[in-house]
Structure 1
Amino acid sequence: MAGREEQLLAIRIAETLSRAAEAERHYVKIIEGSSSDELEDPNNDDLHDAEELLAHRTRTAFRECQMLAERLHMPDFAKDIRKKLKAYGSDAKLTSLTYSSTAGEQYCPALADAWGFYEPMAAVALGGAVTGLSVLETMLRNTAKIIEQAKTTPDRETQVRDAVFGILDSHSWTRAGKLRLQRALKHTNRT
């Protein structure tokens, strides 16, 4: 099972990939809005900056995915990631675009590969990140804020409990789940 460090790294990689996707959209926009002469111009700083940014963020995503694979004790997967990044080699290959007839737009295959490596590891690293118990703990820690949002000044414990269950109602908890939680809270209050 993944620890807190692996979960944080997985979240970091998701942010890196999101920033890389932004860079990809910007790069595609420049490519699609440029004439062939502008694309060939060695002094086209906007194009070259966008290309360098996309290459940097894609390479960073690959390296972070490799680190996560190593932390998750997946050495073969880490080796596959390393080989794939090495196969892309130059920035030009990292930023090459392909047209997807299904999506109707251009995309960066290297970035798609990085996402492909990330997603199964994210399922492993983040799979246990949010549990029912952690949601309950968060709610109990934030009881004061819940009471504040309910705009009430409780003078009995039942009013506090009703405010907490008001949050549960807004998140579609089943009646049986709420009853089990009520019993657990009552039992906890007696100990």
Structure 2
Amino acid sequence: MDQGVVVTVPSGPYSQREANLYLLLQAINDAQHSITITTPYFVPNEVLSAALLNAAYRGVSVTLIVPEKADSAMVSWAGRRHYHDLLEAGVRILTYHGGLLHTKSIAIDGEYAVFGTVNFDNRSLHLNFEMMLLIFDTSFLQALKKLHEQYETQCNPIDAKNWQKRPIYGKIERGSRLSASSPAVRLNGLL
């Protein structure tokens, strides 16, 4: 019987270290072959965005699965402003249309996964009490891979060329400074 290992990684606003941020960065930077991220809220800070771009430019196959329609237009806009650079780097962005997507997971090279309550945004990384699990378990990894494959059958890929051709109002979001890392947005409780 396969004995897996699970490491808990809690974090919150009173934590001395940004454990979940470091865990996400380490996972992305460790990847040699593949990264599959599933998150309902994708608003990476500059460090996480740079890590994803670096992984893609290193030749790692990076797939991002996000909801086609989010429950917050502001969060969607803030996240989509990253799509141009990610698509240019070769990241595959898939929008899930099969209902509510609330899974928060990262699979790395089919060797381990990060799974838990943390969204890919600064609110989760710095303001909320969150729990991540670092999972080394073959059975879990196989089940997560099947889940990702199931999600992909209910996704629409974002094509880089079509993304460039979207209407001007769609391009405004890229130029906007709206970000979950903005203190004004955080303090006003909008995200």
TM interval, short-chain normalised: under 0.3
TM-score (norm 2): 0.22
Q: Which structure exhibits the higher relative contact order, with contacts defined as CA atoms closer than 8 Å and separated by 6 or more residues?
A: 2
Give the structure-1-normalised TM-score. Answer: 0.22
Higher Cα Rg, which structure: 1
